Amino acid sequence: MTDTETTHLLHRLNYRMVTETDDRVVMEMDNRPDLTNVRGALQGGLLATLIDIAAGILSGRQVGAEQDVTTADLNIHYLAPVIDGPARAEATVVRAGKRLIVTAVDLTDVGRNRLAARATLSFAVLDRRS
């Protein structure tokens, strides 16, 4: 790993890939005291980032080599806190069009086997800059 990889915020948060295919991306992060709110639950913004990264990686797998994706819309319904962890985000494709990709992400508290959030995200498909 390079110095940038070991000091980058995402590395320090310990987001990690569990499964990555063309149809599904599963990522996790642990619940640690330095990442929780006053009630001991993982911060919602960190969960939103995990959701966005998992869906973004999956969406990127749907486009050609000369294209990129960028988040156009993110809607999250928080259903329960992530207390035990790890938090697991499972992203699937709802529809992959030529200019827009829609994904769904279920986020669970693995330790409690409980659905913690459900999200839908749209990604704009862009031609890669030269």
Asked if 13 and 29 count as a contact pair (C-beta separation under 8 A), the reply is yes
Cα 104–chain centre separation:
10
Asked if 50 and 107 count as a contact pair (C-beta separation under 8 A), the reply is yes
List the domains of the chain with CATH numbers: 3-127 (3.10.129.10)
pLDDT of residue 114: 98
Q: Is the pTM of this model over 0.75?
A: yes
Q: Is it true that the peptide bond before 33 is cis, omega within 30 degrees of 0? A: no
- Backbone conformation region of residue 84, classed left if phi is above 0, alpha if psi is from -120 to 50, else beta: alpha
pLDDT digit string, tens, across residues 13-48: 889 999 999 999 999 999 999 999 999 999 999 999
